[in-house]
Amino acid sequence: MLDGTVHTRLYEIKSVKVFSDRSQATPVAARNLAHARKPRKKRMSIVKCNRFILVVSLAAMSLFAACKSDKGSSKHFTIAVVPQGSTHEFWKSIHAGANKASRDLAGLGLEVSVLWKGPLREDDREQQVQVVEGFLSQGINGIVLAPFDRRALVRPVEEAKRAGIPTIVIDSALDSDDVVSFLASDNYHGGELAADLMGKLLAGKGKVLMLRYQEGSASTEAREQGFLEKMKSSYPNIALLSSNQYAGATRDTAKRAAENLLNRYGDQIQGMFTPNESSTAGTLLALEDINKAGKIVFLGFDSSEPFLKAMREGKLQGIVVQNPFRMGEWGVKTMVDHLLGRPVPKKIDTGVQLITPENLDSPESRQLLHPPLDQYLK
């Protein structure tokens, strides 16, 4: 997996690297690479009449050829993208990535409409269920879903399958075999990365807290498990004073939960870990309120401008960062591959990376931390 360097390698399908320029390629286009090299008359004629295609990636060439072969059959897909919430920067990045996929595919002759809708509150299971169910009667061709609860969204996904509408899951797992593919970070490994940095910064000894996110969220549960198990196995002299409290879905609920923990353990701890954007934001505010920010090792998960500012000010020692822009882009493109009848992998790793003050300004980190939201959300 990843080891402290920025993860920019594209994912691989059956050990074959897909492409070097991912701007327009779809995940399955790599499968066509071997066929593109065979001297088939039809494919060769496409190359001859489109000399400019030589400057594009081979994967994009393959998809272009496939679309040309369907000329006259006007492909148009409508894909619903359903996030867990609408306010956090993480979900905005997924939205931007989904829109990028739509634009890329339009340039290759495929019209893909992205319908974006999610609950206002990230912990509103019922509203997310209602959003998915509402889409089933709107003539959509597929769903890209980031389920808040790994069990509550099973029924609507099964209903979608019975209606002939496939679902791809992104970000957080679902307890269902009725999904086409699952695209996400290796969340367990993300928790391990945080534990290793905590152990290093505390020189292998001390007392720490972990504030959980929300019960039922598969992605954050994996991060929490990775952190706890790595701490226990590799840093036995670091004591976990509390690891069973939940922050809740918002920055405000997280701040209150962090305040309660700090009131009880604030004078004893040397470190603290939080597993998502809202829990990190709320805990940062709580630490600032009691003048503890910068006086203990604080590690978080996900990215936002306040977190980057806090790292520069010494109040936050590291964040584990996913690539939500890639999740949105690859989620839509993988769905299109499936709708075109191409086989797709059951699981795709979208990458996870540790960002610290030391690598914060590297070109790779800047690209990961500052996706082009304005370009795709206008």
Question: What is residue 203's predicted lDDT score, i.e. its pLDDT?
Answer: 98
Q: Which residues 6+ apart lie within 8 Å of 177 measured at CB?
A: none
pLDDT digits (tens, 9 = 90+) for 29-40: 444 433 444 444
pLDDT digits (tens, 9 = 90+) for 178-192: 999 999 999 999 999
CATH of 12-185+323-377, one of 3.40.50.2300, 3.40.50.720, 3.40.718.10, 3.30.750.24: 3.40.50.2300
Parts of the chain with a pLDDT under 70: 1-74
pTM strictly above 0.85: no
Quote the CA–CA distance of 336 and 314 in Å, as a whole number.
44
CATH topology of domain 187-322: Rossmann fold (3.40.50)
Q: Phi and psi at residue 83, in whole multiples of 5°?
A: -85, 175
Q: Do domains 12-185+323-377 and 187-322 have the same CATH topology?
A: yes
The domains of the chain are located at 12-185+323-377, 187-322
Give the Cβ contact number of residue 126 at 10 Å: 9
Question: What is residue 122's predicted lDDT score, i.e. its pLDDT?
Answer: 84
Question: What is residue 123's predicted lDDT score, i.e. its pLDDT?
Answer: 82
Q: Which residues 6+ apart lie within 8 Å of 217 measured at CB?
A: 148, 149, 150, 172, 276
